[in-house]
Amino acid sequence: MSLRSLTFSIKKTITLCNIAFFLSIFSVLVSLSLHAMEQDIKKEIWFTEQFKEISAGTFAGCLTAVIDQPGIATKNAKQRGITSLTHYFSKNPLLFFEGLIINMASIGPITGLQVCADSILSNIFNPQTLFGQGMSASGGGSIASFIAGPVENIILQQQQVLEYHSKHIGPIQATKNVINTYGWKGLFRGLESTILRDGPYTASYLVLTPYFASLAKKYTAIKHDLVTILTGGSTAGILAAVATQPFDVIKTKLQTNLRGDTYPNFFSTVKAVYTQRGLTGFFDGLIGRGIRTINGTTATYFVYIKTKALLSP
């Protein structure tokens, strides 16, 4: 082979190597770009799904708040020791709806947060098992308790001012009063009780309602979705109400005694309720809250899944 041919072959080889090198670089850049686009699409899909969860949950929560408000007022009055509910509400019917606005403004986002947190936590717990679903839903409810607890505290303060002083104060003023008098600790009083109540409650409407509805459809002649959800929601609501009522009673006692002179903490409140009323004391207001819980587990879940379906393409 001549020197000229050898030189040409070397140049050709170098050129081909350069082309191969640049093609490799180009391929890597294209792959990285496609991966980034894929990740962006996944992120967009993820955020879209979470937006659907929050929107559907918020709407369902607001509607449920309107339905539940009279039951909440009745339950709170009963737990505060008011014996004649007819006399209590007849002298001022507005007591039924005291705190409705803040209730809607809180239960809506709280429900949205519950279902969104449940959706995120389902990536940690196995969503294919009933236990995994229950854990993620309970976790979502527990996270949302950090908002629900203070909000319910403020509603109780508004109701107490209206009852004892016959005047209405807004949620902002009620919040300022609590923080100025008792500090931030007073605002979050009863938080542990709220967590113990809302974790199982969230699991009841996100997990037990569809579970019992599926059983009703499978083992009975009931086939219509609305009827099966009513059946499943009622069953889940009764179980949730009975199981979580003691924690709701303790929460109400703690939040209506912000000074802490009668009920200093969670365990002293448990002891005081048991000493004064026995086991029955832990179920004060069960009927009112039970009706509300059945409404909640049924209406919240039904409106949530229907709203989410409407938001889906």
pLDDT for the residue numbered 132: 92
pLDDT for the residue numbered 92: 79
Q: Are 234 and 301 in contact (CB under 8 A)?
A: no
Whether 52 is covered by a domain: the verdict is yes
Whether 129 is covered by a domain: the verdict is yes
pLDDT for the residue numbered 163: 75
Overall domain count for the chain: 1
Whether 153 is covered by a domain: the verdict is yes
- The CB density around residue 17, as the number of other CB atoms within 10 Å, is 10
Distance CA 134, CA 152 (A): 24
> Of the candidates 259, 244, 258, which has an alpha carbon nearest to the alpha carbon of residue 205?
244
Whether 5 is covered by a domain: the verdict is no
86 Cβ contact partners less than 8 Å away, ≥ 6 residues apart: none
Q: What is the pLDDT of residues 127-170, one digit of tens each?
A: 889 999 999 999 999 999 999 999 899 988 988 887 777 777 88
Q: How large is the angle between the packed helices 191-203 and 100-121, nearest 10 degrees?
A: 60
Q: Are 76 and 156 in contact (CB under 8 A)?
A: yes
Q: Does residue 197 carry a pLDDT above 80?
A: yes
> Of the candidates 196, 194, 210, 191, which has an alpha carbon nearest to the alpha carbon of residue 300?
210
Whether 10 is covered by a domain: the verdict is no
Q: Are 244 and 201 in contact (CB under 8 A)?
A: yes
Bigger pLDDT: 136 or 23?
136
Whether 24 is covered by a domain: the verdict is no
What is the amino acid identity at position 201? Y
Q: Return the exposure string of 51-75: e unless at least 16 CB atoms fall within 10 Å of the residue's CB, then b.
A: ebbbbbbbbbbbbbbeebbbbbbbb
CATH value at residue 219: 1.50.40.10
Domain containing 185 equals 45-311
Most confident of 93-102, 243-252, 298-307: 243-252
pLDDT for the residue numbered 55: 83
Whether 288 is covered by a domain: the verdict is yes
Whether 18 is covered by a domain: the verdict is no
3-state DSSP of 143-195: HHHHHHHHHHHHHHHHHHHHHHHCCCCCHHHHHHHHHHHHHHHHHCCCHHHHH
**DSSP code, position 93:** G
Q: What is the pLDDT of residues 215-224, one digit of tens each?
A: 998 888 888 8
Bigger pLDDT: 89 or 132?
132
